[in-house]
A and B are shown apart, each in its own frame.
Chain A
Amino acid sequence: MSEFIHLHVASAFSGHYGVTRPEIMVEAAASRGESALAITDRDGLYGAVKHIGACLKMGISPIAGVDLEAVDDAGLSLGRVVVLAHGHDGGLGWSALCAIVSTAHQKTRKQQNPAIKRSELARLAVRDGVALVTVLVGNNSDVGEAALAGDRTLTAERLKNWRKAFISTRALVVEITSHLTEPGSPFCNLQANRLLQLADSMGIPTVLTNAVRYLEPDDALTADVLDAARHLEPLGMFTPQPNAQAWLKPASKMRALAIEITQDQARAKSLIETTMTLADRARLNPQNDCGWGKPKTPEKSTLGIDGNPFEVLWQKANSAIEWRYPRASDNQLASIRHRLSQELITINRLGFATYFLTVADVTQMIRDMKIRIAARGSGAGSLTNYLLGISGVDPIEHELLFERFLSTERSSLPDIDIDVESARRHDIYREIFKRYGSNRVTLLSMQSTYRGRGAMRDSGLALGLDEDQIDDIAKNMWRFSARTFRNALGTKPELAALAQSVESDRQMNLLVDITERLDRLPRHISMHPCGVILGDATLLNLTPVETSGMGLPMSQFDKDDMDPMGFLKLDVLGVRMQSAMAYAVRELERVKGEKLELDEIPRDDAETFKQIRTTNTLGIFQIESPGQRELTGKHQPTEFNDLTIQISLFRPGPMKGNMIAPYLDGRHGFATPEYLHPDLEPILRETYGVVIFHEHVLRIFNVMTGCGLAKADEFRRNLENPRLAPQVATFFKQKAREKGYTQETIDKVWATLEGFGSFGFCKAHGAAFAMPTYQSAWLKTHYPTEFMAGLFTHDPGMYPRRLLLAEARRLGVRLLPLDVNQSTDEYLVQPAPRVTTDPNEPAFGIRMALTEIQGVSEAEIKRVIEHQPYTDVADFYLRAKPSRRTLERLATIGALDQLANVDSHTRGDIVMRVRELNSVVKRPTLDPNQPMLDFTVTERMPTGNAEISTEDRVAAELAILKMDISGHILDKYRPMLDAMGVTRSDELVHLRSKTEVLVAGVRVATQTPPMRSGKRVVFITLDDGHGCSDSTFFDEAQQRCASTLFNTKLLLISAKTRRTGVRGVSLMAENAWDLKALWENWQSQQRRNAVA
């Protein structure tokens, strides 16, 4: 007997504690011939599903447990113990473990660690006198503590208390662990030996573990850094781990350890034997114990169905045909019915009828709540989804394929993702819990991992670097994996300063090393932004839950764990654009009484496409980024399908696959489309012969080999796998030959398919995205005021709000200043007073909201709204009770202007009045029985203070609101810009290619997208009040302006224009300067000139 099985192993999913990912741990154990391995993460089963999956893959038995704090009935800590689930008991052990973990999390207040009462633990550990779990009491428990102190009486008393709690069962063992520390310190041989002696004398079984935290001794360094992150203190400021012994030691070392602890060969042998016995008891059968891989859906009754779910689904879908296709011809109807039948047969064969009914039920529920909803992803390819109202995209019109979404070749539960208004997402979650019952629903969790900056920050804190220093380094970390930090030092110009200090500064050197170590380790668990798990009444027996940030229970499993566990996950994703559009529709109805069904607007509105083609796409879903704006200029979309194509092209896959240029060449007639074979022309006509969509590949396979679309999707997936691709090639070439295609055609088509690899995009995704893209463009074209109000309120895009403000001004939308009598917590559309004689002057504008005022509290905003309207400044002061700071800020930005007679009083007067009020030490309260103090009864507005210039107004707005409302930031610099001959962004489109220009503006976006060449390119977008200019910085330019590249806000850039299409122009940057510094120079020069 040479085996040893580890029963106490923390994985990297023990946040800020474990170092090694479960898969790696399992592989190591299996490769040295161990037949089982446990995972016992701290406080939860966070890594358990990945562990079980890895064990299945490597052919060893999984064992699962948890390392948990126990408390007595008074809440006093009994230290940490390990709880292992028993296996092969029909899931009783696993579900007891889940219940124990959930209970430990339930009772805790915020900021208190999860813990379970010993009495509760003992109760959950047993059922009908049979132990479902084993509790391991060892060094970290109260017993271990007393043993270390050498107090034999106390140790015995404490262990007796444990035995008493578990008296009726055999669920208790003593855990013997030594990390070979200095005699007398925790985890020394002496402590282990004392526990062993005591357990033996009391007749309690003992097991040997190594309380593992990492795979290899080298990983102990990483564990040190994680300890610092957990303690929130630098290394050296807390007691660190004693040494590097907590690794997954091989059997030989564990046997030697047993002898060292027991000092007795025979006892050592029996210690290991009991360990193996417990291991056997805890081996899990994933299928029978954890419900591994078995799909679970809500019971029929909860969906309100009786009878066969498939029949219900059949009926529901068929009866919706008339609703979705009211004008279809008989022929069309026949083909619709045919396609539906095929889909339904597949769904039935896979046993997913209940799944589709469940999703349909949820979407109907959301619609009943009057919340905007749209499907996304491959689910849009399903006619069933369209008919059930799950998706709003017609898969027949857009030539989308069901097989890309679901086929009998795969049996994993399909993903249906639903986009809803972000502002209502939590309402929906609560409603789902209510509808299906909290025993069937939990939220999904998400493990965030250490990435570049985060890894560096925690490493810096561990080394005790000061925060400013850390911030400085973080600012210059752009697009590289922290795993290759040292490598990046030599290649990235903005890291040159850091690279230099690494050479001379030992601490910086260490910083780079430990940052690389932390990279990609799990960091902490949080609520998944959109996942909801829907199951049957047994759900909570299969997953442990803890409380999420929003208060609802959340599974400890993440999205990758769903499929293996057979959990139905519904992605209900909050999309701000949906909120913004819903807001626009509501404002339209509220203010103008116009009712608008956004989902039913015609999809071929010429005005909308004209507006898109100007490339002024800020605020439009999916196509507002600098890259998409440039592509819009080149592409010039004219119909809905163009949007689908454009959205799909601008994805990492198609970009890497170099699909954009050939497509544009075909579209603009620069090249004759190559269809490879006449049979493929109908498939590829829409993209001028370029294979872009997964759907294209499926159809080509199907046409040339007759394999059927389901099989075709399997081939498409295998294409990405270098091991399987050759088989696909053989099949394709042989079948195509049989079908009579020439060798030349076959070779050409195969070369295309092979090159396609993983580069394409699913058309259903693109089409689903194109819907909100079109809808938002339509709103921007026809109802700019309402739409921009929606954007301001819900802030959906990638740009700062002040840029949207500039865009609104450019569109002629009127911006109404903050006014405490009119402003609320939303950007309301309001009637605007006439200020010009222009008959086209819009009669409505957008009232700025109170929410952007720096330092304003939600309570203050609520009070301001509640007491509106106000008669004068004092009235506002008394009833809205703003803080002194907020009151002065409101006055400074003019929000109190309407409370004073602005004809006779300046902004300066109002600010003065506010300062008077603020100087009163004790704020008077409104009391009807008390006579008012003099100064509060009558408004006494001072006079004669200076008016504030527009420039100062803008400065105040920027300081207080971070937005420029009265004018544009750049206006102030205009004299200098004009003197320098700076080009306005809206003039660029009229310039020839290779014109040398200067552009200026506020930085609104910085991007470093992945490039085909692997070289880094930096894109900087500037806003100058007339639109945006997009500059590209290649290597040389990056070197020239490394200091301004990422950190300077106001920039002047010298560049050459490059025409890229009808309305496409981009700038090849040569250099960049800090505009503010130039301004100061210029001003002092002006002054000198004036003097001279």
Chain B
Amino acid sequence: MLRVDEIVTVAVDKNGQPIGFSWRNESFLVSAPPIRWFARREWWNEAARVQRGIGAGVLEVEMWRLLASGVTKAKSQFELVHNTSDGIWRLVRVFE
């Protein structure tokens, strides 16, 4: 397993499900229904403020597990973090 932390560009369908992304100049296509869940963050170690109304983004993140293959790379499992407040996707794990 490879731990990374890189911003990636992700293409999604109308339900917000990823269908493909590009990473390190390579395009990946999602080849099976992705799995989504919500994980939590330890805001007490990270956040600067948690005032009322700040939103759940301080506490939870959307996680996606994708089976995808690239042009050169064979089918692998990827885990992405999607920050719903700023829309940024980060690739965090690659299982080869």
Residues on A facing B (Cβ under 8 Å): 179-183, 188, 217-218, 220-221, 224, 235-236, 240-245, 462-464, 486, 506, 509-510, 513-514, 516-517
List B residues 48-67 near A (Cβ within 8 Å).
48-56, 58-60, 63, 65
**B40 on the interface (CB 8 Å rule)?**
yes
Q: In the complex, A462 Cα to B60 Cα: how many Å?
A: 18
Complex CA–CA separation, A464 to B42 (angstroms): 13
**Min C-beta distance of B10 to chain A, whole Å:** 19
Q: How far is the CA of A173 from the CA of B49 in the complex (A)?
A: 42
> Could you tell me if B37 and A235 are in contact, using CB atoms closer than 8 angstroms?
no
> Is B55 in contact with A513, judged by CB distance below 8 angstroms?
no
B35 part of interface (Cβ distance < 8 Å): yes
Chain B, residue nearest A240 (CB): B40
Q: For B38, what are the chain A residues with a Cβ–Cβ distance below 8 Å? A: 179-181, 242-245
Q: A235 is contacted by which of B44, B48, B65 (Cβ under 8 Å)?
A: B44
* B56 and A235 form a contact (CB under 8 A): no
Given A221-B54, A243-B59, A513-B50, A183 and B37 contact (CB-CB distance below 8 Å): yes
CA distance A462 to B44 in the complex (A): 9
Identify the closest chain A residue to B65 (Cβ). Answer: A183
- Across the interface, do A217 and B35 meet the contact criterion of CB distance under 8 Å? no
**A936 CB, min distance to chain B CBs, angstroms:** 62
Chain A residues in 8 Å Cβ range of B32: none
The 3 closest A-B pairs by CB, nearest first: A217-B56, A244-B56, A243-B38
Most central of A182, A183, A188, A463 by chain B CB within 10 Å = A182
Kindly identify which residue among B48, B59, B63 contacts A506, using a CB–CB cutoff of 8 Å. B48
Task: Tell me if B74 counts as interface (CB < 8 A to partner A).
Answer: no
With an 8 A cutoff between CB atoms, is B23 at the interface? no
Q: In residues 36-88 of chain B, which contact A (Cβ within 8 Å)? A: 36-40, 42-45, 47-56, 58-60, 63, 65
Q: How far is A146 from B61 in the complex, measured between Cα atoms in Å? A: 28
List of A residues within 8 angstroms of B60 by Cβ: 217, 220, 243-245
On whether the beta carbons of B48 and A509 are closer than 8 Å, the reply is yes
- Chain A residues contacting B55 (CB-CB under 8 Å) are 217-218
> Which of A183, A245, A463 is B44 in contact with, Cβ under 8 Å?
A463
Contacting residues of chain B (9-45) with chain A, CB-CB under 8 angstroms: 35-40, 42-45
Whether A221 pairs with B59 at a CB distance below 8 angstroms is: yes
In the complex, what distance in Å separates the CA atom of A725 from the CA atom of B36?
56
Whole-angstrom distance between the alpha carbons of A259 and B45 in the complex? 36
CA distance A506 to B46 in the complex (A): 9
Q: Could you tell me if A183 and B50 are in contact, using CB atoms closer than 8 angstroms?
A: no
Nearest CB on B from A562, distance (A): 32
Query: Of B37, B42, B58, which is within 8 A of A188 by CB?
Result: B37
A417 to B58, CA, bound (A): 49
Contacting A510 at CB < 8 Å: which of B36, B50, B56? B50
Contact call A241/B40, Cβ cutoff below 8 A: yes
Q: What separation, in Å, do the CA atoms of A1048 and B30 have in the docked complex? A: 69
A235 to B49, CA, bound (A): 16
Known: A244-B56, A513-B52, A516-B52. 16 other contacts (CB 8 A): A183-B35, A221-B50, A221-B54, A221-B56, A221-B58, A224-B59, A235-B42, A236-B42, A242-B39, A244-B60, A510-B47, A510-B49, A510-B50, A513-B51, A516-B51, A517-B51
- Give A236 to B53 CA distance when docked, in angstroms: 23
Known pairs A218-B55, A220-B56, A236-B42; A182 contacts B37 (CB<8 A): yes
Contacts A/B (CB < 8 Å), 21 sampled:
A180-B36, A181-B39, A182-B37, A183-B37, A188-B37, A217-B56, A218-B52, A218-B53, A221-B59, A235-B44, A241-B40, A242-B40, A243-B39, A243-B40, A244-B60, A463-B44, A509-B48, A510-B49, A513-B52, A514-B50, A517-B52
- Among B35, B38, B45, B55, the one with the most A-chain Cβ atoms within 10 Å of its Cβ is B38
Minimum Cβ distance to chain B for residue A521 (Å):
12
Residues in A whose Cβ lies below 8 Å from that of B44: 224, 235-236, 462-464, 510
Determine the distance from Cα of A510 to Cα of B42 in the docked complex, in whole angstroms: 13
Chain B residue with the shortest CB-CB distance to A178: B37
Residues of A within 8 A of B56 (CB): 217-218, 220-221, 244
**How many angstroms between the C-alpha atoms of A486 and B42 in the bound complex?**
23
Contacts of B36 in A (CB 8 A): 180
In the assembled complex, the Cα of A217 lies from the Cα of B55 at a distance in Å of: 7
Using Cβ atoms and an 8 Å threshold, which residues of chain A touch B49?
Answer: 509-510, 513
Docked pose: A242 CA to B43 CA in angstroms: 13
The CA of A188 and the CA of B63, in the complex, are separated in Å by: 13
**Residues of B with C-beta under 8 A to A188:** 37
Report the bound CA distance from A1024 to B41 in whole Å: 57
Q: Which chain A residue shows the least CB distance to B40?
A: A243
Q: How far is the CB of B30 from chain A (nearest CB, A)?
A: 17
A517: which B residues are within 8 A, CB to CB? 50-52
Which residues of A have CB within 8 Å of B52? 218, 513, 516-517
Shortest Cβ distance from residue A635 to the other chain B in the assembled complex, whole angstroms: 46
How far apart sit A181 and B40, CA to CA, in the bound complex (Å)?
A: 9
Q: How far is the CB of A110 from chain B (nearest CB, A)?
A: 32
Bound-state CA distance A1058–B87 (Å) is 66
Given contacts A221-B59, A244-B56, contact A182 B39 (CB under 8 A): yes
* Chain B hits for A218, CB < 8 A: 52-56
| A506, chain B: closest CB distance, angstroms | 6
A39 → chain B, closest Cβ, in Å? Answer: 23
Please give, as numbers and ranges, the residues of chain B lying within 8 Å of A236 by CB-CB distance.
Answer: 42, 44-45
Q: Within the assembled complex, what's the spacing in Å between the Cα atoms of A240 and B44?
A: 12
Contact between B50 and A220 (Cβ–Cβ < 8 Å)? no
Q: How far is the CA of A183 from the CA of B79 in the complex (A)?
A: 13
CA distance A510 to B50 in the complex (A): 6
**Shortest Cβ distance from A179 into B: residue:** B38
List chain B residues, Cβ under 8 A from A217: 55-56, 59-60
Which residues of the partner chain A approach B51 to less than 8 Å between Cβ atoms? 486, 513, 516-517
Q: A509 to B43, alpha carbons, bound, how many Å?
A: 12
Within 8 Å CB of A464, what residues of B? 44
* A180→B47 contact, CB < 8 A: no
Report how far A179 CA is from B40 CA in the complex, Å: 12
| Interfacial chain A residues near B39, Cβ < 8 Å | 181-182, 242-243
Decide yes or no: A221 and B43 within 8 Å by CB, A244-B56, A510-B49 being known contacts: yes
A514 to B52, CA, bound (A): 8
B82, chain A: closest CB distance, angstroms = 13
Minimum CB–CB distance from A967 to chain B (whole Å) comes to: 53
Q: Which residues of B lie under 8 Å from residue A244 when comparing CB positions? A: 38, 40, 56, 59-60
Q: How distant is the Cα of A236 from the Cα of B40 in the complex, in angstroms?
A: 12
CB neighbours (8 Å) of B50 from chain A are 221, 510, 513-514, 517
Shortest distance between the CB of B83 and any CB in chain A (Å)? 14
User: B residues within 8 A CB of A180?
Assistant: 36-38
A394 to B65, CA, bound (A): 80
- Give A181 to B45 CA distance when docked, in angstroms: 21
Q: Which of A218, A245, A510 has the most CB of B within 10 A?
A: A218
Chain A's nearest CB lies how many Å from the CB of B12? 16
Q: With A and B bound together, what is the CA distance between A506 and B44 in angstroms?
A: 9
A537 to B32, CA, bound (A): 65
A240 — which chain B residues lie within 8 A by C-beta?
Answer: 40
Residues from chain B with a CB closer than 8 A to the CB of A243 are 37-40, 59-60
Contacts of A513 on B, CB cut-off 8 Å? Answer: 49-52
Max chain A Cβ within 10 angstroms of own Cβ: one of B38, B44, B56, B59: B44
Q: Which residues of chain B have C-beta atoms less than 8 A from A516's C-beta?
A: 51-52
The distance from the CB of B7 to the nearest CB of chain A, in whole angstroms, is 22
A804 to chain B, nearest CB (A): 45
Chain B nearest CB from A254 CB (Å) reads 16
Q: Are B63 and A182 in contact (CB under 8 A)?
A: yes
Residues in B whose Cβ lies below 8 Å from that of A245:
38, 60
Alpha-carbon gap, A463 to B63, bound state (A): 26
A233 to chain B, nearest CB (A): 12
Instruction: Report the bound CA distance from A241 to B40 in whole Å.
Output: 8
Residues on the A chain within 8 Å of B54, using CB: 218, 221
What distance in Å separates the Cβ of A612 from its nearest Cβ neighbour in chain B? 50
A464 and B47 CA atoms in complex are apart in Å by: 15
Q: Report the Cα distance A930→B65, complex, angstroms.
A: 85
Interface centre among B50, B51, B65 (most CB of A within 10 A): B50
